[in-house]
Amino acid sequence: MKRMLSGIKPTGQLHLGNYIGALSHFVEYQDEYEVYFFIANLHCITVPQDPAELKQNLHDCVALYLACGLDPERSTIFLQTDVRAHAQLGFIMCCHTYLGELNRMTQFKDKQAKGEKNLSGGLYTYPSLMAADILLYDADYVPVGEDQKQHVELTRDLAERMNHRYGKLFQVPEPLVPKVGARIMSLSDPSRKMSKSDDSDKGCIYLLDDLKKARKKIMSAVTDSIGKVHFDPENQPGISNLMQIMSSLSDNRPMADIEQEFEGKGYGEFKRAVADVVCARLEEIQNRYREISESGMIEKTLKEGAARASQVADAKLSQVQKAIGMDIIL
Ligand code: ATP
Ligand code: LTN
């Protein structure tokens, strides 16, 4: 069975875009691949975090992953810092990454260009740590959003460089970027993607939003004056986004089918139907979230996940240290 690995940064609350674009696919991947999902709590401290908030986000992130259908029997779910080999191989990878390569990474360049002050060394070397995360497990596939593809490309280069220098050490991974449904747009500005770092939260539905609040956000979603429920992202971006949400949450129901149901009906009626579908899914997820939070399942999942992941990661780290000639008693 091919191996898959992905990491999630626990910054802020998960939203409907994360669910439709990433989480719901992860749930499907469990049947096809041997999967490793971890919470990247080292990556998230590359920018300042409030300790109490971070802790709550870590908890919610694991609980929501489980609530959305990740199954700890079929997936290895763990916290990055619970597997020490990540930080250790991270440093080794950093020593094999050229400054020129790090200088080309757009995530750091963008922050620098925005004039953000006091950027950390950790943020700069973040891609080397991400390479370590992936290579420790010899992952074949890495599902990521478009913005992270560059980091996986660098990981491939580093894997090939080290394989060349020390003999075959690593599987060279491939990024897996979802195609359609990959971009759920903001409800208040459908030209921008739904995002937790939006200024106002009117355009973003959080998975833990109160259902009344979520319904209200959908009912006030920006639409157009055409007055027809029709899938046309260019001319009717708001309506098309709502159709995309409805379709994704209804087993990829065809757009033509939705158009037919709402032919001759107003946007109000259509929005109510979208809100029903979204709220039904949120309610399911939130009920599971509450059960999981009270059950001790989070601690058990992370403990067992860390033990399983450490076995694979520690063996790889020893192999690398030996190949480099860093060991005496290993
Ligand atoms: P930020 O708001 O800080 O940019 P984010 O909300 O985009 O963060 P990430 O943590 O960067 O979330 O992404 C986690 C996963 O969710 C990625 O795989 C990403 O592609 C996916 N994702 C994020 N936003 C959307 C969206 N609006 N539509 C579809 N998928 C999304
Ligand atoms: N950089 C990613 C999170 C991340 C990751 C990884 C993803 C850290 N390590 C390894 C895939 C594989 C992000 O910001 N979403």
Give pLDDT tens digits for 304-325: 999 999 999 999 999 999 999 9
Between these two residues, 242 and 181, which has the higher pLDDT value? 242
How many angstroms separate the CA atoms of 20 and 12, rounded? 17
**DSSP helix/strand/coil, 176:** strand
Say if ligand 1 is within 6 A of residue 221 CB.
no
- Residue 180 is predicted with a pLDDT of 59
Residue 232 has pLDDT above 80, yes or no: yes
Tell me the CA–centroid distance for residue 227 and ligand 2, in Å.
41
Residue 11: which pLDDT band, with cuts at 50, 70 and 90? confident
Pocket test for ligand 1, best of 6, 15, 18, 39 (most atoms within 8 A of CB): 18
Candidate list 2, 168, 179, 196, residue with the active-site label = 196
Tell me the CA–centroid distance for residue 304 and ligand 1, in Å.
27
Output the CA torsion sign for 195, 196, 201, 205: positive
Residue 107: which pLDDT band, with cuts at 50, 70 and 90? confident
Q: Report, as an integer, the average pLDDT of 204-221.
A: 97
Question: From atom 26 of ligand 1, which residue's Cα is the shortest distance away?
Answer: 17
Between these two residues, 146 and 306, which has the higher pLDDT value? 306
- Residue 47 is predicted with a pLDDT of 92
Q: Report, as an integer, the average pLDDT of 36-56.
A: 95
Global model pTM greater than 0.75: yes
Say if ligand 1 is within 6 A of residue 10 CB.
no
Q: Report, as an integer, the average pLDDT of 145-153.
A: 91
109 has catalytic annotation: no
Residue 330 has pLDDT above 90, yes or no: no
How many angstroms separate the CA atoms of 271 and 326, rounded? 62
Say if ligand 1 is within 6 A of residue 149 CB.
no
Amino acid identity of residue 148, one-letter, is: Q
- Range scoring the smallest mean pLDDT among 84-88, 109-113, 122-126, 171-175: 109-113
Picking from 143, 98, 163, 144, the residue whose alpha carbon sits closest to that of residue 124 is: 98
- Residue 8 is predicted with a pLDDT of 87
Residue 199 has pLDDT above 70, yes or no: no
- Residue 214 is predicted with a pLDDT of 98
Q: Report, as an integer, the average pLDDT of 324-329.
A: 90
Q: What CATH topology corresponds to 201-290?
A: Tyrosyl-Transfer RNA Synthetase (1.10.240)
Residue 142 has pLDDT above 70, yes or no: yes
- Residue 178 is predicted with a pLDDT of 74
Indicate which atom in ligand 1 lies nearest the CA of residue 6. Answer: 18
Q: List Cβ neighbours of 248 (8 Å cut-off, separation of 6 or more).
A: 20, 24, 181, 184
The CA-based diameter of the chain, rounded to the nearest angstrom, is: 77
- Residue 12 is predicted with a pLDDT of 80
Residue 21: which pLDDT band, with cuts at 50, 70 and 90? confident
Say if ligand 1 is within 6 A of residue 191 CB.
no
Tell me the CA–centroid distance for residue 235 and ligand 2, in Å.
34
Angle at 221 between CA 220 and CA 225, to 5 degrees: 100
Ligand located closest to 65 CA:
1
Say if ligand 2 is within 6 A of residue 6 CB.
yes
Q: Report, as an integer, the average pLDDT of 289-300.
A: 95
Q: List Cβ neighbours of 213 (8 Å cut-off, separation of 6 or more).
A: none
- Range scoring the smallest mean pLDDT among 11-15, 76-80, 293-297, 318-322: 11-15
Ligand located closest to 135 CA:
2
**What is the end-to-end Cα distance of the chain in Å, rounded?**
30
Give, as one character, the DSSP assignment of residue 19.
I
Residue 220 has pLDDT above 60, yes or no: yes
Amino acid identity of residue 15, one-letter, is: H
Output the CA torsion sign for 43, 49, 55, 56: negative
- Residue 119 is predicted with a pLDDT of 94
Residue written as tokens 């921008």? 192
Tell me the CA–centroid distance for residue 194 and ligand 1, in Å.
8
Say if ligand 2 is within 6 A of residue 130 CB.
yes
Domain boundaries, the chain: 3-182+296-323, 201-290
Question: From atom 7 of ligand 2, which residue's Cα is the shortest distance away?
Answer: 7
Give, as one character, the DSSP assignment of residue 22.
I
Tell me the CA–centroid distance for residue 19 and ligand 2, in Å.
16
In the chain, % of residues over pLDDT 90: 87
- Residue 70 is predicted with a pLDDT of 96
Hey, which residues does 74 pair with through a beta bridge? none
Q: Report, as an integer, the average pLDDT of 47-60.
A: 94
Ligand located closest to 184 CA:
1
168 has catalytic annotation: no
Between these two residues, 330 and 298, which has the higher pLDDT value? 298
Q: SS3 for 256-298, per residue?
A: HHHHHHCCCCCHHHHHHHHHHHHHHHHHHHHHHHHHHHHHCHH
Q: Report, as an integer, the average pLDDT of 190-200.
A: 83
Residue 31 has pLDDT above 80, yes or no: yes
Picking from 53, 62, 67, the residue whose alpha carbon sits closest to that of residue 12 is: 53
Alpha helices in 167-236 (DSSP H): 211-219
Candidate list 2, 9, 109, 111, residue with the active-site label = 111
Residue 181 has pLDDT above 60, yes or no: no
- Residue 96 is predicted with a pLDDT of 98
Say if ligand 1 is within 6 A of residue 197 CB.
yes
How many angstroms separate the CA atoms of 262 and 276, rounded? 15
- Residue 111 is predicted with a pLDDT of 87
Q: What is the CATH number of domain 3-182+296-323?
A: 3.40.50.620
Hey, which residues does 175 pair with through a beta bridge? 142
Residue 223: which pLDDT band, with cuts at 50, 70 and 90? very high
Indicate which atom in ligand 1 lies nearest the CA of residue 193. Answer: 27
Q: How many CB atoms lie within 10 A of CB 69?
A: 16
Tokens of 198: 């939006």
217 has catalytic annotation: no
